[in-house]
Amino acid sequence: MTEIKDNIWIFTFEYAGIAKVGGLGEVPANQAKYLANNFEVTVFIPSHGQVQSLEKSLKLEKLPFKSIGQINPSILGLNEAESNYNIAFYKTKINNVNIVLLSGENSFTKRFLDDKIVYNPDTLNGKIALFSIGMCCLIEFLIDNYKEDLPRIIHLHDYHAVIPFIGIKQTLTKDGLEISSILTIHLLTWPRYSLDFYRACGIDQTPISILMKEGLKSMIISEIFSICEKKSEGNQPPTVEKIGAFISDLVTTVSQSYLKSDIIPNCGEDLIEFKSNFIWDGCDWDYDEIYNQVLKKNKQSIRKTLDISEERDLTLIDMKNYLLTYKIGHLDRSPLIRSEKVLNVINEISDSNKFIRNGYLKAFNDSGPLAITTGRISQQKGFETIFEAIPKIIKVIPNAKFLFLILPTDYSLKEIRTYAQYVKKYPDNLRIIFGVATDIFHLAHISADVFVSLSRWEPFGIIALEAMSLKLPVIATK
């Protein structure tokens, strides 16, 4: 007899194996993989233009329904007449986890749901709106045809999932159904949308039940706005994160300090404190497993490049020499960068800088003590602190090497240009690889001497946890 498992849904805009910008993508993927042992887990995510590439490696099933309708593009910031949307749903399985991707079936819808830049500022509003509309259509289809497939709980990752959840909660309420919810805020980014935008996403005046200290209370969206608005913020609408925290049954974040210092004070205070908690991020990296993978993949090339005989065992020093003096200049493929804006900037700066090219930078002439850092370029990461430290360090350790494996976004074009100047200034000590360089990511961690994580602040800092799992000492701020 087949065991019937409870259904859990996860809403996210990043998922490792589908689309990932930073550490967030690892969290729902690890969460879902282990939940799938005891629950029927389904992840819902915009396709981010990955349908065609996923078809090459996974079995994709196109679900037998679509979401079709009209939307006012002006709400999305577009100066166009009313446009038709056509949303398709594709289902696959990764690590026993169901994945449903929402993809456009016409050019208008593809522009948003299939934009490969996950958080493209030019298309993000449309991506959120169409994801929300599509999910409302899906829940209506399930209510009418497969009510047994409805979830017991939905886990929302960051603010992008909040408006879609409100629409689903309203749709269920109309049928006398309720659903539990968890919102995990990984990083506050303060997005604000008007009530008109919520309405464009399919939100109406259907009241939804909200867990408050005194019990459940039913409210319409305008009442929710009124409660969440702060007088000190003038006429600004409340942040989506605050709305999401207020309407969710449980609010979590990735550390106790971030919960107390940022989430509770900025997302509702007494409105959410009684239903808030923290869950530390996890990491499933295993040193022996990754070391053996790196060795298996690179050992022949290391021996050939460094002229090391089969009789001698390869050492971590050999791996580092290979990485610094050869491999960073001979990547298997150009680092993955989906943004045309980012590529244009990198091509612009590489014309006069042989040390920064998209996949074809110059390797070091020699090896030396190696410090690496990783992560998405953002203001809080503190990469500039490392640049400021380099001249002081190389006075003491002249052959010190610094390797940055960092992810640029459309929001960091200025930083890309600035960082490139430091590489020109310290050609014997510094290299920066912009984009996802999968063929050296683990090799760099295995062969480095130290990992540097000088963030000005972090909610958690999963990159440091990854480094520690591979036995790397971590230099970090408090």
pLDDT in tens, 386-409: 999 999 999 999 999 999 999 888
CA distance 134 to 88: 8
pLDDT for residue 2: 57
The position carrying tokens 């979830």 is 151
Which residues partner with 90 through β-bridges?
Answer: 62, 101
| 450-453 β-sheet, strand order | 430-434, 401-407, 370-376, 450-453, 474-476
Placement of tokens 């919810």 in the chain: 181
42 alpha-carbon distance from chain centroid: 18
- List the alpha helices (DSSP H) in 114-210: 124-145, 162-174, 195-200
* Cβ-proximal residues to 121 (8 Å cutoff; 6+ apart), any chain: 410, 411
Give tens-digit pLDDT for 438-473: 889 999 999 999 999 888 777 677 888 899 999 999
Bridge partners (DSSP) listed for residue 9: 42, 154
C-alpha dist (Å) from residue 225 to 191, 201, 240, 407: 14, 16, 10, 35
* Per-residue confidence (pLDDT) for residue 230, from 0 to 100: 76
- What is the structure's pLDDT at 281? 77
CA-closest candidate to residue 350, choices 432, 252, 449, 268: 432
pLDDT at 209: 97
Positions of the chain with pLDDT under 50: 1
User: What pLDDT is stored for residue 351 in this prediction?
Assistant: 63
Q: Which helix (H) or strand (E) holds 55?
A: helix 51-57
Delineate the domains of the chain, giving CATH numbers in brackets: 7-278 (3.40.50.2000), 287-476 (3.40.50)
The two structure tokens encoding residue 310? 């089969």
pLDDT of residue 476: 83
Which pLDDT does position 246 carry in this prediction?
A: 98
Residue type, 72: N
Q: What is the pLDDT of residue 358?
A: 53
Q: Cα–Cα distances in Å, from 114 out to 51, 53, 91, 127? A: 8, 12, 15, 8
Burial of 457 (0-12, 13-18, 19+ CB in 10 A): middle
Both tokens of residue 200?
Answer: 């464009």
Q: Do 386 and 33 touch, CB atoms closer than 8 A?
A: no
